[in-house]
Every structure is written in structure tokens, then in C-alpha cells.
Amino acid sequence: MITMERRLLAGDDSPFAQPTATQLVALLREAGLTGRGGAGFPAWRKLEAVADAGRPPVVVGNGAEGEPLSGKDRALLTYQPQLVLDGLRIVARALGATATHLYVHPALRALTVGIPMTVAPDAFVAGEESAVVNALAGRAPVPSDKRIRITQAGLGGAPTLVQNVETLAHIALIVRHGPQWFRSAGTPDEPGTFLATVGGAVAAPGVVEAGYGVRLGDLVDAAGGPVQPVQAVLVGGYHGGWVPAWPELPVSRAALGAYGSSPGAGVVLALPSSACGLAETASIAGCLAGQVAGQCGPCVNGLPRIATTLADLAARRARPGLVDEVTRLSALVQGRGACRHPDGTVRLVRSAMRAFAADVTAHLHGECLAGGAR
């Protein structure tokens, strides 16, 4: 494993003082910790919502890691499980939780943690927090409608806090070392470190820890550096966005927003110039279409249509209106599901149409820029 920062990956078994719920909310607010599962929601807000629900909650550490390109939660639970368990216990004690659970990727089924553990199915949406609650309740591990938030009524009707395992590990460190220490990495607006899973055209794919705002080139170099010229980088995973392969580009929400991308759960995939960005995106869209939970009509019908339309574009089966069809279908499915699976898919597709605009034009004329002069 390659490491730039060593916080989470170094572990920490030093003693700490257990905070109350009020203290913990204040600590996390001051630290500016955001959820590391992908959405980047402020950790203190979710914690406060559960504390304010007024009934003893259930706390769940979410290590489902359904994102195919991500391996950081598995790495963390393999190398530093104690940090995750510390975070889980700190949160559970602060909130007066009646139960704690750990929900893990199928590859970690042999993990021994001393608290109830449930193995997630190997499915993209299985880590969505209402899907987590459903899985733990013995129901199909698919997302629920959001009229009732799980922070109000989740597992067994109890207010339920589902936090990504990396988020919990950060909490264990913030409680020990304080918010100022946490903020000494990252940027003022996006403090702290994050775990990145760097892959694609790099010499040593793996999990890297860095502060937000780290140069994209440094992340790629920490994974052994490029093995081929890199034409674009997918940041944020299958629900992320393609960004230019500029070594200077800061990996932060602020800098990547311009490309419709964000660090998300820390996935970084370097696309070599020998590959076709449209073919790569069509392949990912096909995977995402295959990972629909099967509940929501627009997603069930729309994602396969988006995927086949992109596949036609990737395979240079040009026809009039092909690009407009991608645009129209993307707008049609957005926001029309119980979870963000359609929205995340649309984010990826839109970023590809922008990042690979020259490839789109070439493909419409029966040509492909992959490997050639661009």
C-alpha cells in the first residue's frame, strides 16, 4: 500500500475521552468532517438529526462498498478495523444507541469484529443507506422511498445512523486529536484526509491517503505513476465524472465541480490514450444499467436505453439524433428514483459527452481517436 498521508492507515490505539452527543456534534462540526461514502454530506448534521429524533437509535458502520472501482473501505477494514470499531463505539455511546452493526463487502465475510456483522450482497446500490437498513432487517437490500428518513425511523422503527466506515475511522481520530489537528490536512473548505482508490493506467494500483486538494498528478504518482500517456481521469467512480488529466488539478469538490465531478468516495481511474473514453463510458453505463434495483420505472427502463444508445455511439453505429437521444434520456431519468442511481449515472454520462466531445464527433463520422493522434 502506498501512503502520502498516514492517519487512517497508520491506525491509533491511544486513549480518548468519550464525548456526549452534543460534544460530538460540535467536534465534527468544527472539524468539518464530511461523509466518505460518496455523497459528502456533513457528518455532524446526520448525527444531530439522529440525536434529535428523541429515541434510542441504532448505529451502522457501512462498508458495503458497492462501487466496483473502490477498494478503500475493504483496505481500511482489513488493515485498521479497530479504528472503524472505535468510531462506531464512540458514536453509539454518544447517542445512547441500543445496537451497533457492521455491514461489509462480501470479500470481508471472514472478518471477526465482536459486534453483529452483516455481509452485503455484491450489488451497486446495496450500500445506499435505506438499502442497508433493509438488508439488516432481512428484507431485499434495495433502497426505500424517502418520505420517511431512516434518521427518523430506520431499523426496527428506531432512528438509524448509517455512516461509511471511513467516516467512522475519522471520527475515532478527531475525538483523540481534535478538530484543529483534523483541519491541518486538506483545504480550509474541505478539511481532512481521504482514502483514494487509484487505478487504471498506473504502475501500482491501490489505496492512497491524501488531503483534499491534493494534486491529481500526485495521486497518480503515489500509485506508481502512469504506465501510458493518460488522456482523462474518472474521479468519483461509476457515479463520478471524467476530468482532464492535468497533474495540477486539485482533487477537491471545489475544483472538480466545474467538470460535474467530485472526489466522491475517492475513486481515481486513469484512462490511457490507447483507450476510447466513449467505449469505457458505454461499458460502465452498461454495468450501471445492469445494477438497477428493479423498483423504479424510469431507472429500470431509462438506464438500459441510455446504455444501448451510448453503446451505439461507442461502436460508431451513427444515426441522426444519437447525441440528442443521450441528452434527452439523461434529462428524463434524472431525479426520478428512490435513490440517486439514475442521477449518478446521468452525471457520468454528461461528463463523458463533455470530456470526450472530440471523440463523439469522430465516432459520428465513423472514426475513433483512441490510440491515434489527438
Partner 1 sequence: MRLHVDWTACDGRGLCAELLPELITEDEWGYPVVRTDEVSPRLEKAAGRAVDRCPALALHLLRR
Please select the residue that binds partner 1; options are 295, 322, 323, 325, rule is CB under 8 A.
Answer: 295
Please select the residue that binds partner 1; options are 56, 229, 244, 297, rule is CB under 8 A.
Answer: 297
Nearer to partner 1, 319 or 328 (CB): 328
28 binds partner 1, rule: CB under 8 A: no
Nearer to partner 1, 24 or 142 (CB): 142
40 binds partner 1, rule: CB under 8 A: no
Candidate segments 141-149, 150-158, 283-291, 312-320, binder of partner 1 by CB under 8 A: 141-149
Site size for partner 1, by CB under 8 A?
Answer: 16
User: At its nearest, how many Å lie between partner 1 and the CB of residue 329?
Assistant: 10
143 binds partner 1, rule: CB under 8 A: yes
337 binds partner 1, rule: CB under 8 A: yes
Candidate segments 86-94, 112-120, 296-304, 347-355, binder of partner 1 by CB under 8 A: 296-304
The Cα–Cα gap between 107 and 166 comes to 17
Please select the residue that binds partner 1; options are 42, 178, 225, 298, rule is CB under 8 A.
Answer: 298
The Cα–Cα gap between 168 and 118 comes to 17
**Cβ atoms of 239 and 202 closer than 8 Å:** no
Please select the residue that binds partner 1; options are 122, 145, 189, 367, rule is CB under 8 A.
Answer: 145
Give helix 297-314 / helix 341-355 axis angle, nearest 10°: 20
Nearer to partner 1, 6 or 336 (CB): 336
365 binds partner 1, rule: CB under 8 A: no
User: At its nearest, how many Å lie between partner 1 and the CB of residue 292?
Assistant: 11
Please select the residue that binds partner 1; options are 301, 308, 316, 368, rule is CB under 8 A.
Answer: 301
User: At its nearest, how many Å lie between partner 1 and the CB of residue 318?
Assistant: 22
Identify the residue whose cell numbers are 452483516. 118
324 binds partner 1, rule: CB under 8 A: no
b (16+ CB within 10 A) / e for 212-240:
bbbebbbbbbbbeebeeebbbbbbbbbbb
In sequence order, the 6+-apart residues with CB closer than 8 A to the CB of 44 are 25, 26, 28, 29, 33
Candidate segments 83-91, 144-152, 166-174, 246-254, binder of partner 1 by CB under 8 A: 144-152
Task: Return the closest-CA partner of residue 104 out of 52, 179, 165, 192.
Answer: 165
Candidate segments 79-87, 264-272, 330-338, 350-358, binder of partner 1 by CB under 8 A: 330-338
Candidate segments 14-22, 54-62, 257-265, 329-337, binder of partner 1 by CB under 8 A: 329-337
Candidate segments 36-44, 60-68, 211-219, 291-299, binder of partner 1 by CB under 8 A: 291-299
State the DSSP string of 17-43: PPPPHHHHHHHHHHHT-B-SSSS--BH
Residue 320, φ and ψ in degrees, nearest 5: -60, 140
In sequence order, the 6+-apart residues with CB closer than 8 A to the CB of 61 are 84, 85, 87, 88, 100, 101, 102, 103, 163, 164, 165, 168
**Cβ atoms of 36 and 167 closer than 8 Å:** yes
Candidate segments 178-186, 239-247, 263-271, 294-302, binder of partner 1 by CB under 8 A: 294-302
Please select the residue that binds partner 1; options are 220, 296, 307, 346, rule is CB under 8 A.
Answer: 296
Question: What is the rounded radius of gyration, in angstroms, for the C-alpha atoms of the chain?
Answer: 21
CA 202 to chain centre: 20
Q: Which three cell numbers stand for residue 324?
A: 440528442
Q: Give the torsion through C-alpha atoms of 184, 186, 191, 193, to 10 deg.
A: -90
292 binds partner 1, rule: CB under 8 A: no
Q: Specify the 3-state DSSP secondary structure of 279.
A: helix
Give helix 341-355 / helix 322-333 axis angle, nearest 10°: 150
332 binds partner 1, rule: CB under 8 A: yes
Identify the residue whose cell numbers are 491501490. 206
338 binds partner 1, rule: CB under 8 A: yes
Nearer to partner 1, 156 or 335 (CB): 335
Interaction site with partner 1 (CB under 8 A) = 142-145, 147, 295-299, 301-302, 332, 336-338
